[in-house]
Amino acid sequence: MNTFKKFLKIIRERKGFTLAELMVVVVIIGLLAGLVLPKVFPKLAKGKMGAAKAQIELLGQALEDYRMDVGNYPATTEGVNSLIQDPGAENWDGPYLKKNVIPNDPWGKPYQFQSPGTHGEYDLFSYGRDGAQGGEGEDKDIVSWE
């Protein structure tokens, strides 16, 4: 019985974790991450693509407001910066964006703008994650004409 009391006293006085206990926790965290992360990453990609579509819609509405005031869309050389800075156009009544800032796409790259466009009066698009034309999944181009 005396030995058992000594054992309990040692356990109560012990501070910290053993290496084995820490390894078990690390393995459990690794297993959980292996199960959860593959389900989270596709949703993150879809979220960025959805954000890009929403920003293109917002910029498209601002371009429409610009056209209503000025009579035409800004030229490619003027770009979407015409929405926040007067390019010297007659009847310009901007800025046409609330925050007075042209956002980058969710991957940190500027949106591409061409006016006149090949798919309409203007083309506004993001090349996606890879920053190159074409692609699949998160690398797919997000465009204003679809």
Q: Domain boundaries in the chain?
A: 47-143
The CA dihedral of 65, 71, 76, 80, to the nearest 10 degrees, is -20
Is residue 2 predicted with pLDDT exceeding 80?
no
Mean residue pLDDT across the chain: 86
Range ranked top by mean pLDDT from 57-66, 85-94, 135-144: 57-66
pLDDT of residue 108: 92
Is residue 52 predicted with pLDDT exceeding 80?
yes
Count of CB atoms within 10 A of residue 74's CB?
21
pLDDT of residue 58: 92
CATH architecture of 47-143: 2-Layer Sandwich (3.30)
Global confidence as pTM: 0.68
pLDDT of residue 42: 67
Place of tokens 């078990």: 24
pLDDT of residue 132: 84
How many Å separate Cα 83 from the centre of its chain? 22
pLDDT of residue 48: 85
Is residue 16 predicted with pLDDT exceeding 80?
no
